Structure 1
Amino acid sequence: MKILRANAGALTNFEVLDFLRSRGAAKDPTRIIVPVAPSEFKVFEYLEQSAACCQTRESIKEFVEKCKKYNLAKAEILNIINIRPSSVVEIDPIVEENEKRLGDSVEELVEMVAEVFPPPPTKTELDEDKQEEIPDGQEMETS
């Protein structure tokens, strides 16, 4: 990945996650020789548990295109992508004066978010990923 313009704008959580993956960040505990700082691994682990882990570049582009009719600010679109609200109540703190600006289309926006972006992993799915089988048949949680 090559930086074309420094500080060109804010990044989505997906873009940060994609960048960390390209640098070698992974869930693999044998990550001995990778150029990723421990703080970057913490960010990677957090983003792997967020909605960003299920997103794609195509879904983000599709969402941005579909959002044009709502006349949302770039920061509002970015927050919707990062947070992936699943109800009208979650849209309220993201979109300023949403009732006045969006009216009845708030519900339509929430439905579009659910349609374009896959749901984030649930707590139980994340816990299952952390479980590993040990020889005597017992399960042990890894950190």
Structure 2
Amino acid sequence: MKIIESNGGALTNFEVLDLFRSRGAGKDPTRVIASVLPSEFKVFDYLEKSVARDQTKEIVHKLVDECKTYNLAKAEVLNIANIRPSSLPEVFPIIEKFEERMESKMEEFLEMVMEILPPHPSEMESKEEADEEEEKAVEGEDEAMEGVEEAVEDEEKAVEDEEGTME
């Protein structure tokens, strides 16, 4: 990778993660062969657990283009890409005078951010866990129903046997 412009501005977490990946950080499980320093591996590990993990260049470019319609500062767009707010209270500290600047567009802005940027990995994991728990609950209900059906069949056989012995 060749440096075109030194100190060209702030980078998104995705761009830093992409740099580490290009230097082999994600490919070397031993962390010996890759040309990444131990301190950089710590940053890499952190970024792999952040919203940057699932972002792409196209997603970041699309976010930047969409944010132009809201007249946001570069630092505000950078923070939105890095944090990926999912509720209005999360947006307020990122965008200066958010209510005054957005007025009736606050919800629209948040929906745009949530639509473009992938969800936080912890949100996806908690959704997967909820889906797994739901599947287990359904399986448990199925097993319980099978047990009830067997009990009803046993009871019916017992009643038939009693009727047969009474005759």
- Once the two structures are TM-superposed, the CA of residue 124 in structure 1 deviates from its matched residue by 8.0
Worse overlay, 104-113 or 117-126: 117-126
Tell which has more relative contact order, 1 or 2 (C-alpha 8 A, sep 6+).
Answer: 1
Structure showing the higher strand proportion among its residues = 1
Residue 42 of structure 2 aligns to which amino acid in structure 1?
A: K
Mark the CA change 1:31 to 1:90 in structure 2 (over 3 Å): closer, same or farther: same
Higher mean C-alpha deviation, range 105-114 or range 77-86: 105-114
Establish whether residue 65 from structure 1 lines up as the match of residue 43 from structure 2.
no
RMSD, matched Cα: 1.9
Q: Provide the C-alpha distance between the structure 1 equivalents of 2:30 and 2:79, rounded to a whole number of angstroms.
A: 34
Report deviation, 1:14.
Answer: 0.2
1:60 counterpart letter in structure 2? V
Q: How does 1:19-98 map to 2 (within 5 A)?
A: 19-26=19-26, 28-98=28-98
- Is 2:117 the partner of 1:117? yes
**Residues 9 and 91 of structure 1: CA distance in aligned 2, closer, same or farther (over 3 Å):** same
TM-score after normalising by structure 1:
0.83
Larger Rg: 2
| Unaligned 5+ runs, structure 1 | 127-143
| Paired residue type of 1:73 | A
Q: How many residues align?
A: 127
Which residue in 2 is equivalent to 1:100? 100
CA-to-aligned-CA distance 1:98-122 (integer Å, 9 cap, x gap):
0111112111111111110111211
Deviation of 1:35 (Å): 1.3
Identity over aligned residues, as a percent?
60
